[in-house]
Amino acid sequence: MATNHSSLGKEAQDARRRWMAVLAEADSQDLQSFWDRRENKPHYAVMSGPETGLLMLQARVGGDGDRFYVGEVTVTRCSVSIAEGPQGTAMVLGRRPRHAEIAAVLDAELQDPRKREHLMTTFIEPLARRIQEAQRREAGRVAATRVEFLTMVRGE
Amino acid sequence: MYVAVKGGEKAIANAHRFLSEKRRGDIRVPELDVKQIQEQLGLAVDRVLAEGSLYDRELAALAIKQAQGDLVEAAFLLRAYRTTLPRLGVSEPLNTGAMRLLRRISSAFKDLPGGQLLGPTYDYTHRLLDFSLLEPKAVPENVVYLADRSIPLVHRAPRVTDLLGGSQLVESSQPDDAADPHDVTQEPFEIPAPRSARLQVLARGDEGFLVGMAYSAQRGFGFRGHPFVGEIRMGYVPVVVTIPETGFSVTIGSLLMTECVMLSRREKRGPDGSHFVQGYGLVFGANERKAMAMALVDRALRSHELGEEVRYPAQDQEFVLRHSDNVEASGFVQHLKLPHYVDFQAELCHVRSSDESADSQEAAEK
């Protein structure tokens, strides 16, 4: 197996965790259009998937107490390997086979130090900026609904 | 006794064709797009994915379209679809404290750190029909917000229970992660059910039933004392999962959820000296009414473990947990419309023969 996670240092693991999160959370259309525009797409073999199934979600009573199951969500996962390179893997929310496959290929390539910097600049950073921008816009609207209730003391 | 009936294949096929025509309605009106339902009937989608116990907005919208807007039927469709998928894993416990907030209020604490955020709410509207919505707008409206000294949102708003932690006012929650929670989708539960099973049942339970139960408890058919909304928060909760191929946990996105912590006095002071206990509600989607009802019913169902007398339906686990699932409930209620000809014949025969024997007995006595 090419997944040598035991040899991955903490820093490398955190970096991978971050790009995997950005790839999973990216808008499917954004990811697809970034992918379509790319030249020299890599050759890869699909090892498993893309497969859609259920992820059972655990929660905690009161937010911090004992665990319970709150319900399930659809997820799609995919694993690929690129020629003479590491394996890539992805799990994304929803039924999005194409999204999971592209994310898995990019995860494999990003583990290759020769390709990483280029892919971080062309894929991960712009996708992360779009996610942040959308969140920032929404946070502004939420902040506009902040309310300060005053308690009135009835005069004698 | 159930006796099979045969026949009617053509009539049934035609009934379903008729149904699909009725579902489409007047063909001069453009057909609804699933995307439109997803975007513009979001609260219906939220109810269906909560009661269908499957978070998939597109499928919930499809189910609503297929069921002609019958939300209980739509939840049933989603539950049925769910059974066709393999389970790929279990998430790490959701951290609702890391929720990206759309709304967050407390009716117990006026000045809570992080602020009170109304978010997109129907509260404080006048419930007057808005006739401007009768005609679709040619161009999307450019919504202008009122200018205010808006303080930016805090990255993470502490939960009210975190703020009270250590004060010994509210019961403390020491998580015990030794045993896995009960999963009612895999294993039937017994009464009394552990709180994990109860909360899972309530999270997928029928909103109408839970609101009715919660209302009954509030009106005096439940626990004593006035419940307070410690906090309601609605927003996006990150989903973290350990992917087997990597061996470490990754955030794979976030889901819209509503959480409610209801605080109420306990009759006897707790072993930790606490005066208040929590009722907890956590529901998929923007589902505030249900999250609040869930928290109240959870509180009522804790009566037994808190040493309170169980007198009313809302406190009775058997009553609440066995009747809150709308797939089960509507199935059993509606099975009565299926042919029961033999059963009814049997009842008729029984009545006639008992009448006859009563008549002959009367005749003999005369």
**pLDDT tens-digit profile of B100-118?**
999 999 998 888 888 899 9
Q: How close, in Å, is residue B333 to chain A by CA atoms?
A: 25
**Better-scored residue on pLDDT, A100 or B143:** A100
> Is the link from the previous residue into B93 a cis peptide, with omega within 30 of 0?
no
CA Rg value for chain B: 26
Distance CA B321, CA B319 (A): 6
Contact criterion met (CB below 8 Å) for A71 and B204? yes
Chain B residues touching A53 at Cβ < 8 A:
85-88
- The first and second tokens of residue B295, run together, are 């928290």
Strand bridging mode A67-82 / B54-55: parallel
CA distances for A35 relative to A38, A48, A101, A123, B144, angstroms: 5, 21, 11, 9, 36
Chain B residues touching A94 at Cβ < 8 A:
56-58
Amino acid at the residue B221: F
Residue A149 Cα to chain centre, angstroms: 38
| Arithmetic mean of pLDDT, B222-226 | 89
CA Rg value for chain A: 21
Chain A residues touching B59 at Cβ < 8 A:
74, 95
pLDDT above 80: residue B292 = yes
| Arithmetic mean of pLDDT, B20-45 | 97
pLDDT above 90: residue B317 = yes
Distance CA A79, CA A108 (A): 9
| pTM over 0.95, yes/no | no
Mutate to test the interface with B, among A27, A145, A152 (most CBs of B within 10 A): A145
Question: What is the phi/psi pair of residue B277, to 5°?
Answer: -120, 160
Q: What is the ipTM of this complex?
A: 0.92
Q: E strands of chain B, at which residues? A: 54-55, 87-90, 100-105, 116-117, 228-242, 249-265, 276-284
Question: For the segment A17-67, what is each residue's pLDDT rounded down to a tens digit?
Answer: 999 999 999 999 999 999 999 888 899 999 998 999 999 999 999 998 999
pLDDT above 50: residue A4 = no
Amino acid at the residue A143: A
* Percentage of the residues of chain B whose pLDDT score is greater than 70: 97
**Residue ranges covered by each domain of chain A:** 8-143
Give the contacts of B145 (CB within 8 A, at least 6 positions apart).
Answer: A141, A144
Check residue B24 and give its pLDDT: 97
Question: For the segment B270-288, what is each residue's pLDDT rounded down to a tens digit?
Answer: 888 888 999 999 999 999 9
Give the contacts of B216 (CB within 8 A, at least 6 positions apart).
Answer: B222, B312, B313, B314
Strand bridging mode B87-90 / B54-55: unpaired
- The CB density around residue B327, as the number of other CB atoms within 10 Å, is 20
pLDDT above 80: residue B365 = no
- The CB density around residue B115, as the number of other CB atoms within 10 Å, is 19
pLDDT above 80: residue B8 = yes
Distance CA B114, CA A143 (A): 10
Nearest Cα to Cα of residue B316 among B198, B207, B224, B206: B198
Question: For the segment B45-81, what is each residue's pLDDT rounded down to a tens digit?
Answer: 999 999 999 999 999 999 999 999 999 999 999 999 9
**Better-scored residue on pLDDT, B56 or A4:** B56
**Does the beta-carbon distance from B92 to A58 stay under 8 Å?**
yes
Mutate to test the interface with B, among A68, A75, A80, A89 (most CBs of B within 10 A): A68
Partner residue facing A146 (CB), from B82, B151, B254 = B151
Give the contacts of B68 (CB within 8 A, at least 6 positions apart).
Answer: B22, B23
Give the contacts of B180 (CB within 8 A, at least 6 positions apart).
Answer: A67
For chain B, the average pLDDT equals 92
Residue A130 Cα to chain centre, angstroms: 13
Give the contacts of A42 (CB within 8 A, at least 6 positions apart).
Answer: A82, A83, A105, A108, A109
Chain A residues 13-72 with CB within 8 Å of chain B? 13, 16-17, 20-21, 24-25, 51-72
**Does the beta-carbon distance from A142 to B87 stay under 8 Å?**
no
Check residue A1 and give its pLDDT: 40
Check residue A8 and give its pLDDT: 59
- The CB density around residue B77, as the number of other CB atoms within 10 Å, is 20
Check residue B110 and give its pLDDT: 85
**Does the beta-carbon distance from B153 to A70 stay under 8 Å?**
no
pLDDT above 50: residue A5 = no
**Does the beta-carbon distance from B53 to A71 stay under 8 Å?**
yes
Check residue A3 and give its pLDDT: 46
Question: For the segment A102-155, what is each residue's pLDDT rounded down to a tens digit?
Answer: 999 999 999 999 999 999 999 999 999 999 999 999 999 999 999 887 777 766
Chain B residues 7-66 with CB within 8 Å of chain A? 50, 53-59
Question: For the segment B124-137, what is each residue's pLDDT rounded down to a tens digit?
Answer: 999 999 999 999 88
